[in-house]
């Protein structure tokens, strides 16, 4: 029983760090786009959260993504997996469960970062 509790808590922690890392990276993106100089102490924090975010994104893809899409990942990152299923949904006349999940996640990711899933 305790194994399932730890598993659920680890999924919740991974989800939290994926979302937090993604938001920190998106907050730093305008600074990079405008060629602004990021202070070295802030740059360390941004890179730390970027590394944590990528690691958690991979874990999120392998755990929760596998559960949602009912398949083992063929891609390294979750948004790449969503992009593949989103493209398959755009090219098909019918929608499967995977297509509907991909469209829902595309809306969520594009709300945070417009144009993330095309």
pLDDT tens-place string over residues 30-78: 766 666 676 777 777 777 877 877 888 888 889 888 988 999 999 999 8
Residue 99 is part of which domain span? 2-112
Q: Measured between alpha carbons, how far is 70 from 65 in angstroms, rounded to an integer?
A: 8
Residue 57 lies in a domain: yes
Q: Is residue 35 part of a domain?
A: yes
Q: Is residue 117 part of a domain?
A: no
Domain count, the chain: 1
**Average pLDDT score over residue span 25-33:** 68
Which of 109, 74, 112, 76 minimizes the C-alpha distance to 88? 74
Q: How far apart are CA 23 and CA 12, in angstroms?
A: 17
Specify the pTM: 0.67
Cα–Cα distance, 116 to 107 (Å, whole number): 10
69-118 pLDDT, tens digit per residue, is 999 999 999 889 999 988 886 666 667 888 888 988 898 888 877 888 88
Q: What pLDDT does residue 31 have?
A: 64
* 118 in any annotated domain: no
């Amino acid at each position: 029983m305790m194994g399932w509790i730890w598993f659920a808590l680890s999924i919740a922690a991974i989800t939290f760090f994926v979302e937090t890392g993604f938001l920190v990276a998106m907050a730093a993106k305008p600074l990079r786009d405008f060629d602004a100089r990021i202070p070295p102490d802030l740059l360390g924090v941004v890179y730390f959260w970027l590394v944590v975010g990528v690691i958690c994104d991979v874990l999120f893809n392998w755990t929760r993504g596998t559960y949602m899409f009912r398949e083992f990942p063929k891609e390294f990152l979750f948004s790449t997996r969503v992009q593949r299923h989103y493209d398959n949904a755009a090219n098909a006349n019918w929608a499967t469960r995977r297509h509907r999940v991909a469209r829902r996640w595309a809306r969520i990711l594009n709300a945070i970062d417009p144009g993330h899933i095309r």
